[in-house]
Structure 1
Amino acid sequence: MPRKPNATLVGEALRARLEEISQRTGYLTNIAHVYGPLDKVPDKADMPYVLIRVAGDVRTSTAAFQATRLRTFELEAVFRKTAGPADLDGIHVDLLRALGFGQDRPERKFPGLIDDEDEATPRYASAGETTHSNTLTIGVTYVESYN
């Protein structure tokens, strides 16, 4: 079986890390499901859930047949409109904690996470909408070989 590209492995590891978010494991939020970029979210999906999207991927340096790349992910947590500001703020904390931000154990940090910059964008339901969301944008560096 051919190897998977490192970008794919980063995405799979990110999804696995986010699937750990649960109140039983010490988080503020109980995530019902994590959906990848090609997954179809069911119409009546349990909430809250997280959508992982790739926002971009740029080469930052090159050495021989390898390149260091920066992949930007959008992690959108979707809640019913009955959720309050504390829920949307809590998921921001939980997503960063799940990635190892602020942890004193280096092995807990998500490999390649750019931890000095992230952005959270809350969106509150307006008339006729049924969900709120908070989207966290993060960057992850990785190395890809092209030989």
Structure 2
Amino acid sequence: MTRGTDLTADIKANLELINPAAGYYTDLKGVFELRAAKDNQPMPFALLAWQDDATEKRGLRDAQRLRSYAVQGVFPSEAALADLEKFHFDVLRALGYGARVFGRPINAVIVGDSAEIEPAIDGSTKTTITITLEARYTEAYA
């Protein structure tokens, strides 16, 4: 597998550990890639995809890359703002913020993050928070 593929697998594995039994606030009911969750999936759950992957530095056999991931938390429309804030906090902790690494180490450095909440609109059954993570890693091509 490529290092990019390994990175995505490691991030997914760490997100799958988010539940109170592992020391987190959020009781995540699943992590899905590329919006593969079923319509009746219990909430909250997370959707994982990467949005952009760019070369920063290139060598003969490898390249330093910056990949932008989107982690979308999907909550019931009645979720409190505090629930979304705790999910944001849990995602960052799961990926190594606070020097607490749970699960698999991630072979990258998370160099930035941002979060945006999309509140439930009239008639909607879901509220979402999208966390964008910037991960710097080295891909080997030889």
- In 1, Cα distance between the equivalents of 2:140 and 2:99? 30
Aligned to 1:144: 139
Alignment pair present for 1:120 and 2:109: no
- In 1, Cα distance between the equivalents of 2:140 and 2:100? 31
Judging changes above 3 Å, is the alpha-carbon distance between structure 1 residues 80 and 104 closer, same or farther for their aligned structure 2 residues? closer
| Corresponding letter in the other structure for 2:129 | N
- In 2, Cα distance between the equivalents of 1:25 and 1:75? 19
Superimposed CA distance per residue, residues 7-40 of structure 1 (whole angstroms, 9 cap, x where no aligned partner): 1111001000101100111100000000012x62
Partner of residue 87 from structure 2, selected from 86, 91, 112: 91
TM-score under structure 2 normalisation? 0.92
* CA RMSD of superposed structures (Å): 1.8
Partner of residue 7 from structure 2, selected from 1, 5, 10: 10
TM-score under structure 1 normalisation? 0.89
Q: Once superposed, which parts of structure 1, at least 4 consecutive aligned residues long, lie more than 2 Å away?
A: 108-111
The CA deviation at 1:104 is 6.2
- Tell me if structure 2 keeps the 8 A contact 1:81–1:131: yes
- Tell me if structure 2 keeps the 8 A contact 1:22–1:30: yes
- 5+ residue gaps, structure 2, are none
Tell me how many residue pairs correspond in the alignment: 141
Judging changes above 3 Å, is the alpha-carbon distance between structure 1 residues 96 and 104 closer, same or farther for their aligned structure 2 residues? closer
- Tell me if structure 1 keeps the 8 A contact 2:116–2:130: yes
Q: Which has the higher strand share?
A: 2
- In 1, Cα distance between the equivalents of 2:76 and 2:133? 24
- Tell me if structure 2 keeps the 8 A contact 1:103–1:109: no
Output aligned runs, 1:62-141, within 5 Å.
62-103=58-99, 110-115=106-111, 117-141=112-136
Superimposed CA distance per residue, residues 90-143 of structure 1 (whole angstroms, 9 cap, x where no aligned partner): 1011000111112267xx86332324x210101110112110011111011221
